[in-house]
Amino acid sequence: MSLMEENNHVIMPIMFPALYRISKEHWNQTIVALVYNVLKTFMEMNSKLFDELTASYKAERQREKKREKERDELWKRLGELELNHNKKMIASHNSPPSKK
């Protein structure tokens, strides 16, 4: 533990994202409890860094959600464009030829 305390500024940024995600998403409550203990220890070691990492993690998740939403909307628009194009193609094939 003393090595972790001496190097918490290096270790915490590496470990935090995975531990935080596990604490919110893991199905096994024993694992979640162990992760909570580690997070609590990190918080006690360096509460300022812990708060910064928490805020940074949450902001990054929000950016990811926004990008995912934008990507989903783009795919939806592309699907709509494809449908419109297909309808126009079908309509042009079904229309009678023009007389000259």
Residues 1-32: b if buried by 16+ CB within 10 A, e if exposed: eeeeeeebeebbeebbeebbebbeeeeeeeee
- Contact indicator for 33, 26 with CB cutoff of 8 Å: no
Task: Please give the pLDDT value at position 100.
Answer: 57
Reduce the DSSP state of residue 7 to 3 states and report it.
coil
pLDDT along the chain (100 residues), means of 10: 87 96 96 97 96 97 97 95 87 71
Q: What is the pLDDT of residue 68?
A: 97
The whole model's pTM is what?
0.70
Inter-axis angle of helices 29-45 and 8-25, to 10 degrees? 150
